[in-house]
Amino acid sequence: MNEERELAINPIVLTSMQHNTQVVSNIRSLTASLFGVAAGTLGMESYTGFVFYLIGTLIVSGLIFSFRAEGKASEYFHRPLGDLWGGDVVSGLSSFVLTWTLFYGLVRA
């Protein structure tokens, strides 16, 4: 009830929220593909590749946090933890695997 009252006083604009999520999702899918290219070219295999992806997304999250959100994540995201730090990590994984496999196949195997 208290949170509802808080939301009524400081409402969240749905359009802006969608726009922010869209920006994060675009950055994520682009960087995931590029990480895939890097991992494939470096010839990473199995766990190394996935760990590389996780570290990469963490760095990208940090960059979004400091440059796009200017260090004030709670002003841009309703739930900063889920929307900024963890947003679209899983959906980026499929495109990461795609480019990883492609470049691994082209360069190494």
Partner 1 sequence: MAQPIVQTIHRDPALFWWILLPITVVMVLTGILRHYAMILLQTAPKKQTLPQIRQQRSLVRGINLRTNARVLPPASFQARKAFMVSAYQEGKFLADPEARGKPRPNPMSDPAAMEGMMGMMKGNMAMMVPQTLIMGWINAFFSGFVIMKLPFPLTPQFKSMLQSGVGTRDLDVRWVSSLSWYFLTLFGLQPVYNFILGSNNSATQSTQQMAANPGAGMMGPEQDPDKLFLSEAENLEVLEYRWVLEGVEDRLVAKFA
105 is a contact residue toward partner 1 (CB under 8 A): yes
Which two tokens mark 20?
């922010």
Distances from the Cα of 6 to the Cα of 1, 2, 74, 81, angstroms:
9, 6, 15, 20
Q: Which stretch binds partner 1 (CB under 8 A): 57-65, 66-74, 75-83, 92-100?
A: 92-100
Tokens found for residue 89? 């990590």
| Tokens at 55, concatenated | 């570290």
Q: Are 74 and 68 in contact (CB under 8 A)?
A: no
Within 10 Å of residue 73's Cβ, how many Cβ atoms?
Answer: 19
Binding partner 1 by CB under 8 A: which of 72, 78, 79, 108? 108
> Would you give the binding string for partner 1 spanning residues 40-79, x where CB under 8 A is met?
x--xxxx--xx-----------------------------
Q: Give the interface with partner 1 as residue ranges (CB under 8 A).
A: 5, 8-9, 22, 25-26, 29-30, 32-33, 39-40, 43-46, 49-50, 91-92, 94-95, 97-102, 104-106, 108-109
